[in-house]
Amino acid sequence: MIAIETNAGQVAAWLARKSTTLRTVQGKAVEEVNREIVSDYERVTHNWDHKPRITQHVERSGGAWIGRVRVSGKVFEAVERGVPGRYIYPVRAQVLAFRRDYRAKTSPGSLTSRSGGSYGDMVFSRGHWWPGIRARHFTEKILRKRRARLVPVFLKAIVRWARES
């Protein structure tokens, strides 16, 4: 007869202590990815005159960590979603006054920003076709980029945690 004695109670207590620290490590990994997402938004909007408001929040719901990044601002929403073209007319003046040419600071499908704005000769018009704003879809691009990064960040944090334990 062979008798095997285990220290199952001690192992269970150790695992309970370690699972608490592991949850903390997971939360910090979500915070790290959130910071990367915020930096992506800031990189896109760093030279805008009307910067959007960027907020982030990490919470634990059930057994999962949820990281939220919210970007708000009228200009950001117009550039993110796009605005259809239309005819524009003066409202408080007799004519519209604007520069002939315009170079956008951002472009669709890109997470970079460059110098831009209006330039050229002044034009005065009683109305004309405004081409609108092509949607940039920053959020989709950032989500694709950072979703792929989430697993390596988690694995790195867990490996670091396991080595320190």
Tell me which residue has tokens 């030279």: 47
pLDDT of residue 2: 42
N-to-C CA span, the chain = 36
**142 and 109 in contact (C-beta within 8 Å)?**
no
pLDDT at 160: 80
What is the residue whose two structure tokens read 């409202």?
Answer: 91
- The pTM is what? 0.77
Residue 157, pLDDT above cutoff 60: yes
Instruction: Quickly state the pLDDT bin for 22 (edges 50, 70, 90).
Output: confident
Residue 12: predicted pLDDT: 63
Work out the number of other CB atoms within 10 angstroms of the CB of residue 18.
14
Please report, to the nearest 10 degrees, the dihedral formed by the alpha carbons of residues 88, 92, 96, 99 taken in order: -110
Q: What is the pLDDT of residue 1?
A: 36
The whole-chain average pLDDT of the chain stands at 84
Q: Are 102 and 90 in contact (CB under 8 A)?
A: no
Q: What percent of the chain has pLDDT over 70?
A: 87
Cβ contact 123:99 at 8 Å: yes
**Nearest one of 103, 98, 133 to 115, comparing CA atoms:** 103
| Residues 114-149: b if buried by 16+ CB within 10 A, e if exposed | eeeeeeeeeeeeeeeeeeebeebebbebbeeebeee
Report domain extents, the chain: 9-164
pLDDT tens figures, 96-120: 999 988 888 888 888 888 888 888 9
Q: Measured in whole angstroms, how far is the alpha carbon of residue 70 from the centre of its chain?
A: 8
DSSP conformation letters of 47-77: T-SSPPEEEEEEEEETTEEEEEEEEE-HHHH
